[in-house]
Amino acid sequence: MIDLPILVDDSLFDAYDVQKARRNRGMPLEALALDTTPVGMHYLLAHFDIPIFDPDTWSLGITGHVKKPLTFNLEQLRRFPRMSQIVTIECAGNGRTHIEPRPPGNPWGYDGVSTSIWSGVSLQLALNEAEILKSARSVVFSGADFGERLGRTEYYKRALSLEEAASDDMLLAFEMSGRPLEPQQGAPLRLVAPGWYGMAHVKWLTGIELIDHEFDGPQHEAYRIKQSEDELGEPVTKMKVRSLMIPPGYPENSHRHRLLEPGLVTLQGRAWSGTAEIERVEVGINNVWAESVVEPAVADRKAWQGWTYQWGAESGEHLLRCRATDALGNTQPLVPSWNLRGLANNAVQQVAVTVR
Amino acid sequence: MIDLPILVDDSLFDAYDVQKARRNRGMPLEALALDTTPVGMHYLLAHFDIPIFDPDTWSLGITGHVKKPLTFNLEQLRRFPRMSQIVTIECAGNGRTHIEPRPPGNPWGYDGVSTSIWSGVSLQLALNEAEILKSARSVVFSGADFGERLGRTEYYKRALSLEEAASDDMLLAFEMSGRPLEPQQGAPLRLVAPGWYGMAHVKWLTGIELIDHEFDGPQHEAYRIKQSEDELGEPVTKMKVRSLMIPPGYPENSHRHRLLEPGLVTLQGRAWSGTAEIERVEVGINNVWAESVVEPAVADRKAWQGWTYQWGAESGEHLLRCRATDALGNTQPLVPSWNLRGLANNAVQQVAVTVR
C-alpha cells in the first residue's frame, strides 16, 4: 500500500468559485506536450472585467519622475526594434485547491501556467526615451482593468523597483504567437516580466509612472505570503521551481481519473523556475523516485524545459509524481505549506492512475 | 420591491465540478461587445482529453455506404473550393447552474456560447466525392477524443440523418478566424453544423461513416431532454431562442456583483435562435419590459444579432433581464424548466446591479 497524499480537495465550493473558474481558465495539461501554448489554451486570470480597447485610440503615457513625459500610440511603439522571447508565466495562486484548508481566491488546480512567444518593445528602450530622473525609485504599471475589491474601487496596478525594471528582458508586448494580443491577454499592450509570477505581468497597460518612493498599492498587499491578516508577510516575486506531468492514459469523463493499459508508457512534462535553470526532474512511481531525462534550457531560462521518463506500467493503482530541482538547489516540497491567500504553492503534482 | 428570481445557484460544488469549469471555459460576457469571438475567448467543452495531432499525418476517412470510400489529408481538403461562414455555437448545457435542483454536468453559467468565422470545405462536396449509396440513412462523425463514461470506453461520435447532413451550410472546418484550428477547437478538422447546439459540431474529426440505419451512440443518449432515466426523452437538436446582455458597470472582485453610476447607460448584447431570425429583444428593468433596438440578421441567420437599449439608471438595486423572440414566435421563458441533464435551458439571463 502506498502512502497516498491528498489528491483532490474535499472541501466544497460555491457558485462564485465556479464562476471564477469558468472565467479564469487553466491550461489543459495535455498542452504540456507543446513547446508553446496555443493562444486559446493559455491560462488566464483577470481580476475584474476584460477591457476591450479600440487599438486606434489607445495610448500609453510614461509620466512622473522623467525628464520628458511621453505618450505612445501603437504605431509609435511598433517603430522601435522588435524584441521577441519565449516566456513561461505561472499564476501565483496556481495549486491553490491542493492546499488544506483551502484559501480563498481563484480555485486553481495545477493548471495556471503556460508558455508563449511574446513580442514587442524593450521596456528599457521605452523608459530611456522618457529619460528617467535620478529621483525615481519605482516604476508603476497601470492596467485598464477596474473594479471594487474589499470595499474600494481600483485600477489594477503593480510596480517594479527601478532595479527590477532595468532587467534587459522586461518586455512591453503587443503580440503573442505572432499575432496582435487578444483582449483576454491584455490587448493592446501588456508587460511581460520573465521569471515573475503572473501578477507582475500587468495587462491592458495604459500608463507607466516613475515615482520617487516604494509603491504600496492594493495588488501588492494582495500578493504577500502570510499566516494571518495582521502579519506583514513576504511579497510574492519570482516563480518557485516546479514541474508538471501530462496525466497519462485516458480520462474517466466525470472525475477525470486516469486509466491506462499495462506496458511501456512515456511520461512527459515540463519544469521551470523563475531564478535558475532546471537541473533535474525526478519521477516518483508510488514511493520510488528515479531520474527523468531533462531537455537543456532554451531561450535563456525564460521558458519551461521538457522532461521524459519511460515507465513500465503494471496492473494496479499507482500514484505518479514529479519533482524538479533547479541549478540553485531549490527543490519542490512533497506537501504544500499553507498560507492565508494560498500563494506560491509549488508542491509536487500528484496523478492517480489505474493500470488495467 | 421587485420579484427577484434565483440569481445564483446556492447549491454546492465539489472539486470535480471546479476542475470541469477550469477546463471548459465560458466566454466572458464582455466579449458580447464583439461581432465575433477571439479564438482565446471562445467557449470550450471537451468531454475527454484534447487530442493533439500532427497535421501532416492526420487523415479523414469517408467510409460505409458509399460507392468510393475515400481518405483525405489536409492538403487534399484545402484544394476544394473554400467555404467560410460566421456561426454562433452554444453548448446544450449552457445555463445549467441556473436550474434548480442543479443537474449534473459541466457547471455553465450563461457563458457557454460564442461566434466565430469558420472556414473549410462544404460537407456536401466531400460526401459527393465518395458517392453516397441509396442505402445510406445516417452520417456518423467520429472524433479522436476518447475516454471512459458510465463504465464504457468510447470515442466521441455523433450522427446526422442524411437529410440533416444535406443542409448546404454544413461545413468541415479547418480554420477559425483565418488561422488553422487550435487544438482545443478540434484541430485539424471539425464539423460546424449551423443552428445546432454544440454537441453536433464534432471536433477532432477522423472519420465519417455512412450507415443504413439510425445511429444510437452514447452521445445521442446523453443529449436527450427527459425527466427520469427510464424515459426515452426528446433529442436535443437546434439552439432555442436566447439573448444575453453584457453585465453593465464594473464588478466587485469576489462575487462579480455589478456596480454602476447613475445616468444614461447603454445596455447591449446579442440574441440568436437555431431556427429563425431574431425579431425582437425586450429588456426588463425590474418588472417593466420595453423594446430594444435589434440589428438586422446578417450571414443568413447563422450568427447572433446585436441589440441595444438606453437605460436611465437611478440609484438603487435593480434586476436587469433580456428576452428574445424569433420570427417563428418562439420566446424565452422567464424561469428555467428542469430536466435530468440540464439541457437546452434558454430561460432569461438575470443581472443584479447596484446603482450608486
Tell me the pLDDT tens digit for each residue of A295-305: 998 766 799 99
Q: Are strands A60-64 and A70-72 parallel, antiparallel or unpaired?
A: antiparallel
Q: Which one-letter amino acid corresponds to residue A46?
A: A
Tell me the chain A residues in contact with residue B28 when contact means C-beta distances shorter than 8 Å.
Answer: 23, 46, 49-50, 184
Q: Which of A9-13, B126-130, B163-167, B243-247 has the lowest mean pLDDT?
A: A9-13
Q: What is the pLDDT of residue B301?
A: 72
- A41 near B CB under 8 A: yes
Q: What is the average per-residue pLDDT within A229-236? A: 96
Residue with cell 489536409: B74
Residue A237 has pLDDT above 70, yes or no: yes
Rounded to 5 degrees, φ, ψ at B84 are: -130, 140
User: B133-154 pLDDT, tens per residue?
Assistant: 999 999 999 999 999 999 999 9
A22 vs B23: CB contact, 8 Å cut-off? no
**Taking all residues of chain B, what is their mean pLDDT, rounded to a whole number?**
95
Residues A143-179: pLDDT tens digits? 999 999 999 999 999 999 999 999 999 999 999 999 9
**Would you state the pLDDT for residue B1?**
40
Q: Determine contact, residues A20/B99, Cβ cutoff 8 Å.
A: no
Coil, strand or helix: which one is B96? Answer: helix
B314: Cα within 13 Å, side-chain hemisphere? 2
Sheet holding A293-294, edge to edge: A242-245, A263-272, A305-313, A293-294
- The reported pLDDT for the residue numbered B5 is 53
Nearest residue in B to A104, CA atom? B254
- Residues A249-254 have a mean pLDDT of 96
Question: What mean pLDDT do residues B330-353 have?
Answer: 97
Task: For residues B38 and B330, give the distance between their C-alpha atoms in angstroms, rounded to a whole number.
Answer: 29
Q: Which of residues 307-336 of A touch B (CB under 8 A)?
A: none
Q: What whole-number distance in Å separates Cα of residue A106 and Cα of residue B21?
A: 12
State mean pLDDT over B172-200.
98
- Residue B356 to chain A, least CA–CA distance (Å): 13
How far is residue B268's CA from residue B110's CA, in Å, rounded to a whole number?
A: 15
Instruction: For the beta carbon of residue A98, count every other beta carbon within 10 angstroms.
Output: 24
Query: Considering chain A, what is the average pLDDT of its residues?
Result: 95
Calculate mean pLDDT across residues A270-278.
Answer: 96
Q: How many residue pairs from chains A and B have C-beta atoms closer than 8 A?
A: 183
The pLDDT confidence band at residue B297, using thresholds 50, 70 and 90, is confident
- What pLDDT, in 10s, does the model give residues B245-283? 999 999 999 999 999 999 999 999 999 999 999 999 999
> How confident is the model at residue B300, as a pLDDT?
66
Is B298 an interface residue toward A (CB < 8 Å)?
Answer: no
* Selection from B174, B70, B200 nearest residue B122 by Cα: B174
Q: Are strands A152-161 and B288-291 parallel, antiparallel or unpaired?
A: unpaired
Task: For cell 492546499, name the residue.
Answer: A99
Contact B146 A9 (CB under 8 A): no
Specify the DSSP element, H or E, that contains A317: strand A316-326
Could you give the ipTM of this predicted complex? 0.96
Is pLDDT at A10 greater than 90 in this prediction? Answer: no
Q: What percent of chain B has pLDDT over 90?
A: 95
With an 8 Å Cβ cutoff, are A49 and B251 in contact? yes
CB nearest to B22's CB, from A47, A104, A109: A109
User: What does the pLDDT read at residue B85?
Assistant: 95
Q: How many CB atoms lie within 10 A of CB B52?
A: 19
A235 has pLDDT over 50: yes
- Only one residue has cell 508565466, namely A89
C-alpha–C-alpha distance, residues B25 and B104, integer Å: 17
Give the mean model confidence (pLDDT) for residues A331-348.
Answer: 97
Contacts of A184 in chain B (CB under 8 A): 28, 38, 40-41
Question: And the C-alpha cell for A118?
Answer: 511574446
Mean pLDDT on B332-336: 96
pLDDT, position A1 = 39
Chain A residues whose beta carbon lies within 8 Å of the beta carbon of residue B41: 50, 182-184
Is pLDDT above 70 for A4?
A: no
Please report, as a single letter, which amino acid is at residue B268. Q
CB of A103 less than 8 A from some CB of B: no
Cell of B233: 426523452
In angstroms, the separation between the Cα of residue A65 and the nearest Cα of chain B is: 31
Q: Which of A52-56, B7-11, B32-36 has the lowest mean pLDDT?
A: B7-11
Residue A286 has pLDDT above 80, yes or no: yes
The answer to whether the CB atoms of A40 and B185 lie below 8 A apart is: yes
Average pLDDT estimate for A303-311 = 98
C-alpha distance from B47 to closest chain A C-alpha (Å): 6
Whole-structure pTM value: 0.97
Sign of the Cα pseudo-torsion (A324, A327, A331, A332, in order):
negative
